[in-house]
């Protein structure tokens, strides 16, 4: 028994007192009786208790597992908080005027009291089974996915049949009688993670984005209070899914539903941990209440009819959607840089009444996630979300991108107290941290980077691990997890604990992940700094990078484990190859420098045109004197395989004597311009190159560099296509109204000082290879087979297959990745055969450039 935790009878008395004090806002009633004849309490909170059942509602259940006390305690404190603040908090008044809260604070009163008084970690109810054992796991006793079992002593024994227990019958009857319930939250412990509902078919549903976003917004409210980061994980193959839970039953009745796993222990230290867990979840629940009205079955605000990315560049994305417009509605679009992120005011990028939006000033080669919903500006009611768009912006013209996955044989974990460490490589999860059984555990990750050029300059790098389970991280805010670059010269045997323990670490990379940042179901990224990118490159040996992942190495007295589990992608514990540890690189290579000398130089004045002289300024009548330069690009490599990455123009002035306020501008102009005074005076300028220089600056520095900006470099690259001439004009200006007979000259005859156009360029394909051909769908052994024929182009590196149930994937990231490689078929191993969906096949080269998608539509027969 823990003194600060309330008994079931104490909470009943608290609720009765609240009902007496706030009769207009609060009600307690019984919805059934347990095996031991305890009443199952249901409490209702609303701005007007008499009309509560007519409003959309949040349904909360807690402590369906006896040892998970957080649900009971949170319900008590949430009710007290809301009632205490309802009359003074306008936000609560608004939410509870529009919505209702139903709470079953303790769905397992018998088991809870048994856990309090006799066996702390009792989980089931107190049914006496036919064989004399006790208990049914109430969260396995619902019908969706129910598994028949005779193992009555098991903690997950689901009972003789669905709804065999009075507790689950009471929950069923209440939910079926209250069609106004729109959101259901089932509170458990432990893990600091949300588990949204699924339908056992391993496919995203139309409301997957809704559930993920609801959970993400609740998680953000938690983070603001305590800094704690919650994971979000919907069941994915080939992981075993929980059977017969209340969450799926509620979801099967059209209710947005999630389990909420709180804290790091079933029964936490109340003052140190539980109190904080309660405090951070009250605003999270208030946020959920805010969304209740938006998921009302009678909500006239429907989600948009479609949502697509129609164009993707290196720094922009064009979005379009379809909806019937009227003056009372507008659209909110949210952008995130991680999957399963919140949608709130901090990442709301536009409110618009248009049906398209151009998002600009993005970073190249970066993942972005877009969500959209409709808002009624009069009522402020919002629609559900349309399924999320995922894109990756293109790389810049001087960049390449690589994704490297962990090598199975060189990736695994070693533990201090285990003798079979070699067997942990390629077939298991990565256990990192410390516990009583394993002792200290390290993960070793080997990544082959053979395709990375020797002259690569790494601009950006991140190491990414997928957290598969954090339930064994049981100490709040204790320890951190780091990734180190291993010095392979002194590495030893990576399957031997002592050798791994004694590895020399060149440097730790990225920011450490602290225990309160550990999540489940959301990728964890270690982003490398510039210096760390340099060391990453230096650490390569035999085309391989080796990393060591480490966590805490000591335990507090009385604690048995602080162990994190990361996915390896392989084996029975992995979620599939897409979840392997991966290294993401953006890099460029050392450029080749080509110096071009002018094909033609002229000085053009009103009076004359002089060849091979560079003079600019003003003549005796105050007319401008120009100099022109023409270069030819034919000496550069072919356009299709070359990118000009940097360009600058060099001039060297002769002795300068003038002191007047004269400035000189270098202009990029059309190469077909006539070299006469009239045409030069009326020229059309493509772009100014660099910045103007003054006569004073010329005195102090003989050499001037005019640097091309990004736009000028783009135009220069376009000129390379035709290997045409390019032209420049040197123009004088002055702030003085009239200035006469003032000129400056530049060197021409001296080869080292004459005008030069200096270009840096790299070999890089500009365009993708051809699309696949003969693409088709078929059924094979109950699975959808996608097959195609690869192009014969020698630059072809592979085909990538993406699945999306909601739209044609025009981006190679917009959906679930099924395959990437050189084969000519793949299987949708876990895909449902009774759901419409699209498959997209992209080819790619080594840049990579992706081809346009070949789209296949699957329609069940």
Q: What is the 3-state secondary structure (H, E, C) of 247-277?
A: HHHHHHCCCEEEEEECCCCCCCCHHHHHHHH
Q: Kindly report, residue by residue over 317-339, the tens digit of the pLDDT.
A: 999 999 999 999 999 999 999 99
The pLDDT of residue 266: 78
Question: Is the Cβ–Cβ distance between 776 and 829 less than 8 Å?
Answer: no
The pLDDT of residue 4: 80
Task: Measure the CA–CA gap between 351 and 6, rounded to whole angstroms.
Answer: 47
DSSP state of 6: P
The pLDDT of residue 2: 67
The pLDDT of residue 696: 79
Question: End-to-end distance of the chain based on CA atoms, in angstroms?
Answer: 59
- 131-156: string of b/e by CB count within 10 Å (b at 16+)? eeebbbbbbbbbebbbeebeebeeeb
Question: Is the Cβ–Cβ distance between 82 and 143 less than 8 Å?
Answer: no
Question: Is the Cβ–Cβ distance between 774 and 683 less than 8 Å?
Answer: no
Q: Backbone phi, then psi, for 298, in 5-degree steps?
A: -95, 10
Token pair listed for 726: 């390019």
Task: Measure the CA–CA gap between 98 and 749, rounded to whole angstroms.
Answer: 84
User: pLDDT below 70 — which residues of the chain?
Assistant: 1-2, 236-239, 270-271
Q: Kindly report, residue by residue over 751-792, the tens digit of the pLDDT.
A: 889 999 999 999 999 999 999 999 999 999 999 999 999 999
Helix axis angle, 70-85 to 8-21, nearest 10°: 10
Continuous segment of H or E residues that includes residue 800: strand 798-804
Q: Is the peptide bond before 848 cis (omega within 30 degrees of 0)?
A: yes
The pLDDT of residue 237: 60
Give pTM, 2 decimals.
0.93
The pLDDT of residue 695: 81
By three-state DSSP, how is residue 302 classified? coil
Alpha-helical (H) ranges within 651-694 are: 677-681
Task: Measure the CA–CA gap between 515 and 157, rounded to whole angstroms.
Answer: 32
Q: What share of the chain is helix, strand, coil (3-state, %, to 5)?
A: 20, 35, 45
List residues with catalytic annotation: 261
The pLDDT of residue 236: 64
The pLDDT of residue 271: 64
Question: Is the Cβ–Cβ distance between 675 and 609 less than 8 Å?
Answer: yes
Cα–Cα distances (Å) from 555 to 380, 436, 475, in that order, read 51, 9, 9
The pLDDT of residue 238: 59
The pLDDT of residue 213: 98
Which residues, including other chains, have CB under 8 Å from residue 56's CB and lie 6 or more apart? 98, 99, 100, 180, 181, 182, 292, 293, 295, 296
Q: Taken in order 146, 148, 151, 153, is the CA torsion positive or negative?
A: positive
Which residues, including other chains, have CB under 8 Å from residue 90's CB and lie 6 or more apart? none
**Of the candidates 532, 548, 442, the residue with the CA atom closest to the CA atom of residue 487:** 548
Question: Is the Cβ–Cβ distance between 183 and 254 less than 8 Å?
Answer: no
The pLDDT of residue 239: 63
């Amino acid at each position: 028994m823990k003194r600060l935790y309330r008994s079931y009878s104490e909470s009943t008395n608290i609720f009765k007192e609240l009902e007496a004090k706030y009769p207009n806002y609060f009600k307690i009633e019984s919805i059934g009786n347990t095996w031991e004849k305890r009443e199952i309490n249901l409490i209702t909170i609303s701005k007007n208790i008499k009309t509560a059942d007519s409003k959309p509602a949040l349904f909360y259940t807690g402590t369906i597992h006896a040892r998970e006390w957080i649900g009971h305690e949170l319900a008590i404190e949430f009710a007290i908080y809301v009632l205490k603040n309802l009359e003074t908090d306008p936000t609560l008044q608004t939410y509870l005027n529009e919505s209702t809260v139903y709470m079953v604070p303790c769905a397992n009163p018998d088991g809870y009291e048994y856990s309090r008084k006799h066996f702390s970690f009792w989980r089931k109810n107190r049914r006496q089974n036919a064989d004399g054992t006790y208990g049914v796991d109430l969260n396995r006793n619902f019908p969706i996915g129910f598994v028949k079992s005779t193992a009555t002593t098991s903690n997950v024994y689901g009972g003789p049949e669905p709804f065999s227990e009075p507790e689950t019958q009471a929950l069923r009857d209440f939910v079926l009688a209250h069609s106004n319930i729109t959101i259901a939250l089932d509170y458990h412990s432990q893990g600091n993670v949300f588990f949204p509902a699924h339908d056992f078919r391993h496919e995203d549903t139309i409301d997957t984005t809704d559930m993920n976003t609801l959970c993400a917004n609740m998680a953000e409210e938690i983070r603001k209070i305590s800094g704690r980061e919650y994971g979000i994980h919907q069941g994915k193959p080939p992981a075993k899914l929980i059977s017969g839970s209340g969450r799926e039953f509620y979801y099967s009745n059209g209710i947005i539903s999630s389990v909420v796993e709180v804290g790091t222990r079933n029964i936490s230290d109340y003052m140190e941990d539980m109190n904080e867990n309660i405090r951070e979840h009250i605003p999270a629940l208030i946020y959920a209440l805010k969304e209740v009205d938006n998921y009302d079955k009678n909500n006239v605000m429907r989600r948009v009819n479609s949502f697509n990315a129609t164009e993707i560049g290196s720094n922009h994305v064009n979005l379009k959607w379809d909806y019937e417009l009227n003056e009372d509605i507008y659209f909110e679009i949210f952008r995130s840089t991680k999957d399963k992120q919140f949608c709130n005011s901090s990442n709301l990028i536009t409110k618009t009444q248009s049906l398209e939006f151009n998002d600009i000033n993005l970073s190249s080669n970066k993942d972005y996630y877009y969500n959209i919903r409709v808002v009624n500006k009069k009522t402020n009611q919002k629609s559900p979300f349309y399924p999320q768009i995922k894109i990756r912006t293109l790389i810049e013209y001087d960049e390449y991108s690589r994704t490297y996955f962990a090598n199975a044989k060189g990736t695994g974990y070693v533990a201090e107290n285990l003798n079979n460490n070699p067997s942990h490589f390629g077939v298991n999860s990565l256990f990192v941290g410390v516990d009583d059984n394993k002792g200290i555990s390290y993960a070793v990750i080997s990544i082959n980077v053979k395709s990375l050029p020797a002259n690569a300059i790494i601009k950006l790098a991140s190491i990414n691990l997928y957290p598969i389970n954090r339930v064994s991280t049981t100490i709040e805010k204790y320890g951190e997890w780091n990734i180190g670059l291993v010095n392979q010269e002194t590495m030893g045997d990576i399957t031997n604990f002592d050798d791994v323990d004694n590895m020399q670490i060149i440097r730790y990379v990225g920011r450490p992940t602290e225990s309160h940042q550990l999540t489940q179901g959301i990728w964890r990224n270690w982003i490398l700094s510039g210096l760390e990118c340099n060391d990453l490159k230096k650490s390569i040996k035999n085309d391989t990078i080796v990393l060591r992942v480490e966590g805490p190495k000591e335990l507090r007295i009385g604690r048995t484990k602080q162990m994190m589990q990361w996915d390896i992608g392989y084996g029975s514990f992995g979620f599939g190859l897409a979840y392997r540890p991966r290294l993401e690189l953006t890099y460029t290579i050392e450029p080749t420098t080509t110096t071009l000398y002018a094909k033609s130089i002229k000085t053009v004045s009103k009076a004359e045109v002089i060849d091979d002289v560079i003079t600019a300024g003003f003549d005796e009548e105050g007319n401008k004197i120009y100099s022109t330069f023409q270069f030819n690009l034919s000496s550069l490599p072919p356009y299709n395989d070359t990118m000009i990455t940097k360009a600058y123009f060099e001039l060297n002035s002769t002795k300068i004597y003038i002191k007047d306020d004269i400035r000189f501008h270098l202009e990029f102009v059309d190469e077909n311009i006539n070299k006469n005074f009239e045409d030069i005076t009326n020229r059309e300028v493509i772009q100014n190159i660099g910045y103007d220089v003054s006569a004073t600056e010329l005195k102090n520095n003989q050499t001037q560099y005019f640097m091309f900006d990004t736009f000028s470099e783009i135009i220069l690259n376009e000129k390379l296509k035709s290997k045409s001439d390019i032209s420049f004009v040197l123009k004088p200006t002055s702030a003085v109204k009239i200035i006469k007979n003032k000129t400056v000259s530049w060197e021409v005859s001296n080869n080292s000082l004459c005008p030069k156009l200096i270009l840096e360029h790299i070999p890089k394909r500009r365009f993708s290879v051809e699309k696949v051909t003969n693409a088709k769908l078929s059924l094979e052994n109950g699975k959808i087979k996608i097959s195609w024929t690869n192009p014969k182009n020698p630059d072809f590196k592979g085909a990538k297959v993406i699945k999306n149930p909601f739209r044609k994937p025009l981006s190679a990231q917009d959906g679930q990745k099924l395959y990437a490689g050189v084969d000519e078929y793949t299987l949708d191993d876990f895909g449902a055969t009774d759901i419409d969906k699209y498959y997209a096949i992209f080819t790619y080269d080594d840049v990579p450039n992706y081809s346009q998608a070949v789209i296949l539509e699957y329609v069940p027969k």
